């Protein structure tokens, strides 16, 4: 079972919410809202998506829902092979779920983002690939340092001077990006108890003129066997009981 989450950002308020979950079992796609949509509704007035008008319903389809398929680059585009190389997806594994999981599915026309649920590897360790965020905010010398990184080079997490996020740094403390927001809660939970169990390394470096959002691909491994990613209530299937309780409160 492959699982992706859908997040929505209210840029005016600087708020971000995981609002839905997409799964694929090899035959059928399934979408349902998560409890995060309730917080988005209460804090920012978020309403149901046109494609999924009922918060309580579980939607199923043999084809990928348009909300997601429209975020996947068509194979017919001449730059498709190059795009797949940027994502570092092995040949014959470039299915729509894999493309969305690695690319994030962002579009300039809305404020949605797609991200995967980490899966355990053959040793039971959880791992996830992500592109370093925030490169457009870094100085020129930092971008030059990024362009000089090597595959397999270790990166270090830092938050001493950035309490609301996690910096990605080189061994000599050069900032080369930021961890995606969707990873923060889980990473903070892990490193607060087992700081040495999280490993981040360079998985692929796409040289200019590759867009900055696809420049630095990282691989994170969490060697914590009892860890269950995205287990907070925000990521659980939407419950009308939660909605009723919030209305009473």
Beta strand extents in 179-228 (DSSP E only): 198-205, 216-222
**Spatial distance between the Cα atoms of 202 and 222, rounded to a whole number of angstroms:** 15
Same domain, 132 and 189: yes
Same domain, 62 and 109: yes
Same domain, 148 and 222: yes
Cβ-count burial of 200 within 10 angstroms (0-12 exposed, 13-18 middle, 19+ buried)? buried
Q: Is residue 241 part of a domain?
A: no
Residue 62 DSSP label? S
**Spatial distance between the Cα atoms of 197 and 193, rounded to a whole number of angstroms:** 9
Cα separations in angstroms, 119 against 17, 73, 98, 225, 246:
22, 24, 13, 12, 33
User: Total domain count for the chain?
Assistant: 2
Domain hosting 89: range is 1-117
Same domain, 112 and 43: yes
Q: Is residue 45 part of a domain?
A: yes
What's the pTM value of the predicted model, to 2 decimals? Answer: 0.92
Mind listing the pLDDT tens digit of every residue in the chain (249 residues)? Answer: 899 999 999 988 888 999 999 999 999 999 999 999 999 999 999 999 999 999 999 999 999 999 999 999 999 999 999 999 999 999 899 999 999 999 999 998 899 999 999 888 888 788 899 999 999 999 999 999 999 999 999 999 988 655 568 999 999 999 999 999 999 999 888 887 777 888 999 999 999 999 999 999 999 998 766 778 999 999 999 986 655 455 434
């Amino acid at each position: 079972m492959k699982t992706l989450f859908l997040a929505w950002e209210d840029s005016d308020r600087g708020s971000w919410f995981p609002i839905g979950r997409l799964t694929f079992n090899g035959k059928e796609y399934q979408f349902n809202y998560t409890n995060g949509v309730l917080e988005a509704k209460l804090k920012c007035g978020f309403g149901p998506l046109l494609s999924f008008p009922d918060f309580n319903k579980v939607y199923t389809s043999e084809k990928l829902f348009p909300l997601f398929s429209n975020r996947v680059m068509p194979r017919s585009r001449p730059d498709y092979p190059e795009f797949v190389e940027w994502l570092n997806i092995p040949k014959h594994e470039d299915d729509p779920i894999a493309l969305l999981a690695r690319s994030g599915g962002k579009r300039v026309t809305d404020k949605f983002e797609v991200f995967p649920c980490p899966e355990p590897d053959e040793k039971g360790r959880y791992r996830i690939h992500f592109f370093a965020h925030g490169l457009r905010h870094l100085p020129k010398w930092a971008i030059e340092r990024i362009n000089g990184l090597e595959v397999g080079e270790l990166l270090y997490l830092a938050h001493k001077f950035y309490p609301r996020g996690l910096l990605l740094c080189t061994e000599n403390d050069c900032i080369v990006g930021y961890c995606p927001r969707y990873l923060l809660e889980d990473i903070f939970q892990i490193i607060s108890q087992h700081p040495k169990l999280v490993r981040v390394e360079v998985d692929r470096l796409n040289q200019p003129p590759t867009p900055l959002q696809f420049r630095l691909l990282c691989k994170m491994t969490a060697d914590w066997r009892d860890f269950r990613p995205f287990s907070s209530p925000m990521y659980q299937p939407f419950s009308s009981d939660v909605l009723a309780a919030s209305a009473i409160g």
